[in-house]
A and B are shown apart, each in its own frame.
Chain A
Amino acid sequence: MNESPNQPDFEELEVLLLDSGDSDFPETSRERLNTLLRETAEARTFASELLFDDALLADSLSAEAAEAVFKDEDSNIDTTRQRKKSTSLRIAAAVVIGLIALSFAMNSSSSLSPTSVVATVQSTNRVSGLSDGQTFEIGERIELQQGRAVLRFNSGAKFAVEAPAFLTVTGPNEAELDAGRGTVRVPGMIKGFTLVTPTERVVDLGTAFGIEVTDNGTTSVAVFEGELELRGTDKPQRLFAGQSTQSVEPRSPAQSIPHLVDAFLNTWETSFGVETVTGDLRVARPGERLAPGLAVDSKTLLLFPEREGVSLPEGFALNATRTGLHERPFRKHVEHLSESLTVDSYLLQYNPGLDTSDSGNDRVFTAELRFDRPVVGLILAADQLEGSDAQLAMPGAQLKSIGRRGINIDDQVELSEDRRTLHIRMSIQNSVDQIRVLVDANA
């Protein structure tokens, strides 16, 4: 086996890729394959070439099978030249067979789901007429008369919208918003999520933004993170975090307006899967979220949504996975995930910005926090918090400036039986308390 991370073992990679087609491909081999691919760009390029070639091979061989279907018994001409000329035709024949089947599928309502779904309701809050997990195909309309809902598009983009709102799902990464207010967040590497309104075309370029469309079509946009482009006119307008605009007429340039944030705070929270927050706790506002190490608030606990859709391997170390009360001393200091999980991470923090440990002025903060998906783990101790920062904290979180992380001897965190609600009681003796909450990203 080649030891150098710069020189992938191509033969091993080839064997693993070939074996990976088997349904009983061992997990250890699968992990080794992923490790090799993570290590070098050369390994990924090599694998990509092999897999593209395999697809070509499969198509060519399928074409032969299709040719048998269409074979003209009277034709025995088989010169090399004609074989070459007919290559694309033969492959087309194979594909046409598939497309004929697809055509039948498209006209059969029973076979439309689940493959034609482009968006799913992740969660609802006091909504009638929509339910969690409800799916939408291209062209389907959503009318929200009350409450809030989070719509998750196949691209990964999330649109938290509050009533009254009227929109049509137009693709796996786009929708038309006729009226309503909401927050769009496009996590990770996904770009290009598009919202079309009566007066504007808003295209995400890696961002979080608020959008409001009034009954007369006026569209207000506020960029919270990253950037986006307004493409409602011939001259696209680029907007960055901290900027807001308003578009009144179709094909007229948007006008700058004072930055809007407060109007979107409800859907901002909802977009992160936070259903309710009560007591001495608030969700970090746009701007605060990206650097919890710099956020100071002596009056309340703060919840910072961190990275989303992070794959944690089996055996990942944390401090609690069970429901019930968690406090020091922990029943078991470190627990390990029994299976790999994809999670969204949240950092809950108290940081008054100065050390109050000697003031004798203890204060108890209590709060209740409900998520729209189950909590699968808690990280409560300083060493596990530090150990998980690389995978779960936002880039640039500035957490190194914070000492005394984790919870203290009098702090309590209780996870409800349905795993969605956390009851938090923190006795603020030291300067900082911090815990990390992991929520099942795919529930």
Chain B
Amino acid sequence: MNSPTPEDHPDAAFVSALTNLQSRLRGYCQAALGHGDEAAEALQRTNITLWKKSSEWDPEQDFSRWAISVARYEVLGVVRDRQRIKRRYVFDSDVAEQMIDVANERVEPNSARQEALESCLAKVSSKNRDLLSAYFVRGETFQEIATATGRGLSALKVAMMRLRRSLRGCIETQLGKEASA
């Protein structure tokens, strides 16, 4: 029986396909499980499973469909392991199942949105960019950011809300321009 082992090294095509799909995989896990450790755990499990099964992937076939189906099972696995692992979670199991359905509908590639976001991010001030990075990249809590920056907790949350809305508005405008061009 030819089963992949941890020693197997995926080829360049696989690494490229997995790399290109990371944003969508992360989005899928997050849309199904919400912010927090669970989505990160599901993404990590998905990457490991895909890596170990890399030899089964035929480059002629749709990588994203296969990868998203693996992500779905890993998300379900994280939900099922809740009581055993006792990790904090955001969505109750029944809600997570409903959110998986919505995520399945939204997981199609959207490189235009990503490029629009890049363009909009370039217009964000460095102060606000630091705020976004602290929260979304370094995973700092609002309280930690408030302590570090000396800003009030409520003001910080309001700023984040406005920032996200402004980015969303910018993205929609950008996409509208491209559609009418």
Contacts and interface: CB of A to CB of B under 8 A. Distances in A.
A217 to B, nearest CB: 14
Interface stretch (A54-62, A289-297, A396-404, A420-428): A54-62
Contact of A311 (B70, B94, B118): B94
Contacts of B98: 37-38, 44
Which of B7, B95, B118 has the largest count of A CB atoms less than 10 A from its CB? B118
Interface string A126-155: 000000000001110100000000000111
Given A58-B137, A156-B80, A342 B30 contact: no
Contact of B117 (A48, A56, A105, A107): A56
A304 to B, nearest CB: 22
A342 B36 contact: no
A67 to B, nearest CB: 12
A45 B103 CA distance: 8
Query: Chain B's interface: helix, strand, loop or mixed, by majority?
Result: helix
B35 A116 contact: no
B44 to A, nearest CB: 6
B150 interface: no
B68 interface: no
A229 interface: no
B142 A22 contact: yes
Interface residues of B, number: 80
B58 to A, nearest CB: 15
Query: Chain A's interface: helix, strand, loop or mixed, by majority?
Result: helix
A49 B3 contact: no
B23 interface: yes
A55 B53 contact: no
Interface in A85-115: 87-88, 91-92, 95-96, 98-99, 102-103, 105-107, 109, 112, 115
Interface of A: 14-15, 17-25, 30, 33-34, 37-38, 41, 44-45, 47-62, 64-65, 80, 83-84, 87-88, 91-92, 95-96, 98-99, 102-103, 105-107, 109, 112, 115-116, 118, 137-139, 141, 153-156, 168, 170-173, 176, 188-190, 192, 309, 311, 340-342, 440-443
13 contacts: A21-B141, A24-B141, A48-B102, A52-B31, A52-B106, A53-B168, A55-B31, A60-B117, A61-B129, A98-B47, A99-B15, A115-B41, A118-B49
